[in-house]
Structure 1
């Protein structure tokens, strides 16, 4: 049934549009966006390891290349993040998706607000994880849509006035799902299972896409585009703009900038995969920083299991002698609700999954 909403996961308080704040006064940063001293982007060391973030050639991986499979294992264990090239999504599809996102954020604020999140939904225009009027806010605007399967799309959140928006998002969603399937197949193999097993474990696998708009900021050292967090997905796939580095990942206590590779897709391990793999593949904290001069758009696709799926360790990842069970079995819906009821706080929410 088209237009069936996915509600009941949680809710978030409404916040002002950062785009509008900047449009009205580009020099002043409101107090609520100024991060506490210890959380500011320059208060922690920025690492020089950007060039070491693994790059996976999906075409080789999909054709059974053993070396590429070992690289995927290393990337998932040691980094939790990697960039994927030769993934098969055409440049045209990527560009159309970026153009669709840009066209939404170019709408007047009154038009965007027609697609604001409802009281008990995380779909729509607005920020998630806003649980109190006191908490610090992120320097971004975002739009979240459930994109797959089509029956879960709630059309009241899809901007109907934008020509080509729906077509561009749906085409991108389908192609990203093909990339997802290939990556999950190889992770299944590494976890000692049949290739289709991880995909099956999602139940009815869902996909949500979040469009992020990071306005320039007069004082980028005081704000964060997105606070440190890990993703509550199985895996996430991010399309970055080619010219601007904004994403940073935590690696060995430092923040490593993820420099964009043209047309590459950034993939990261989510909390669900951490649970399924018994902690062998860990979800990694990441954040976004801003800059003074240029707005930045990114597009994140989240791979989401069915609500009633268990996210405890699979049998092949538990060994009484070598790798004892470290995670309990938790229903995905319970994990989501626990998570959305709190503000983002690094990886502290994953303690809920652990024994």
Structure 2
């Protein structure tokens, strides 16, 4: 059972006093934090949860139409690692036609399509705001860090029952991309993060109307090791269906992932060799590195 002794930071996005520095500190010390007053309307969050649950309750043959040539970019059926989990995926959601294509695959109605698009772009705007604030907090200027980066919206369902209580719904992992903005289930808990200082699992208890931000492997590389790629998992605490909606900010499009020169100096040499994100994603898969172990293979001689 996860510890209750410490809690991940909660950051008010409308409290502008030192906001960039608070975000950087949370990325460095936890790699996981909650944000309040984030600008995504609560009503829209509730509507998106309803749409997600409706689509995830569709028959398997319809969900399988949410296909993509590459693994992880379309529908994720229950599997050996996560037999109680499945997820629908809208990959590279800002591309023209991406929302329409996803909605056609799963037969989403026009009202459902409208909610998906409104939600996706509300979180997309929030992600870009977070990226700019992180740049500012690191002294790199207030630029749009995530401009033109591919982003992925994923709707998740955990099919819990009395038999699954105490079992793992999503195995321990880090996210491969830069950061994830998660709308977790406000009534069904289960998300746990690892405290990097103590190694303890900490329950990330839900707070209605808030969003969770998880920092991933790309952010650790881009920050030259300053940011923590948080290890986390999802457990089954109670026999209830759990729904979550994850928005993944992945990596530069067709450009190397690497620390900007301002974050590299004689005291802190470049820790990782530059790499393309898709190459890294394949390396993670091929080396079976769910918690970012593959990053060790990309370290420089320093």
TM superposition score normalised by structure 1: 0.77
Shift of 1:325: 1.8
Q: Which residue, out of 163, 166, 173, partners 1:229?
A: 173
Structure 2 residue matching 1:287: 3-state secondary structure: strand
Change (3 A) 1:119 1:69: closer
Aligned to 2:4: 48
How many Å separate the matches in 1 of 2:158 and 2:235? 9
| Contact 2:56-2:88 at 8 Å conserved across structures | no
Within 5 Å, which residues of 2 pair with 1:6-21? none
CA deviation profile, 1:299-322 (whole Å, cap 9, x unmatched): 00001234422112111211212x
For the pair 1:99 / 2:50, whether they are aligned, the reply is yes
CA deviation profile, 1:291-344 (whole Å, cap 9, x unmatched): 3421100000001234422112111211212x2221111122211222344545
Change (3 A) 1:69 1:123: closer
Change (3 A) 1:333 1:124: closer
Within 5 Å, which residues of 2 pair with 1:170-185? 170-185=117-132
Q: Which residue, out of 321, 326, 345, partners 2:271?
A: 326
Shift of 1:94: 0.6
How many Å separate the matches in 2 of 1:154 and 1:163? 11
Shift of 1:108: 2.6
Change (3 A) 1:332 1:136: closer
How many Å separate the matches in 2 of 1:53 and 1:97? 25
Change (3 A) 1:137 1:214: closer
Within 5 Å, which residues of 2 pair with 1:43-82? 46-50=2-6, 52-61=7-16, 65-66=17-18, 68-82=19-33
Change (3 A) 1:243 1:87: same
| Contact 1:104-1:162 at 8 Å conserved across structures | no
For the pair 1:142 / 2:87, whether they are aligned, the reply is yes
Aligned to 2:72: 122
Q: Which has the larger radius of gyration?
A: 1
For the pair 1:205 / 2:149, whether they are aligned, the reply is yes
Q: Which residue, out of 160, 167, 178, partners 1:216?
A: 160
How many Å separate the matches in 2 of 1:330 and 1:120? 19
Segments of structure 2 that go 5 or more residues without pairing to the other structure are none
| Contact 1:219-1:292 at 8 Å conserved across structures | no
CA deviation profile, 1:102-150 (whole Å, cap 9, x unmatched): 11122233332333x355453332249x7xxxx6444211111125323
Aligned to 1:313: 259
Aligned to 1:247: 191
Shift of 1:235: 1.2
| Contact 1:247-1:286 at 8 Å conserved across structures | yes
Shift of 1:161: 4.2
| Contact 1:81-1:268 at 8 Å conserved across structures | yes
Shift of 1:168: 1.2
* Cα RMSD (Å): 2.3
For the pair 1:263 / 2:263, whether they are aligned, the reply is no
How many Å separate the matches in 1 of 2:52 and 2:257? 32
Shift of 1:349: 2.6
Segments of structure 1 that go 5 or more residues without pairing to the other structure are 1-41
Aligned to 1:282: 228
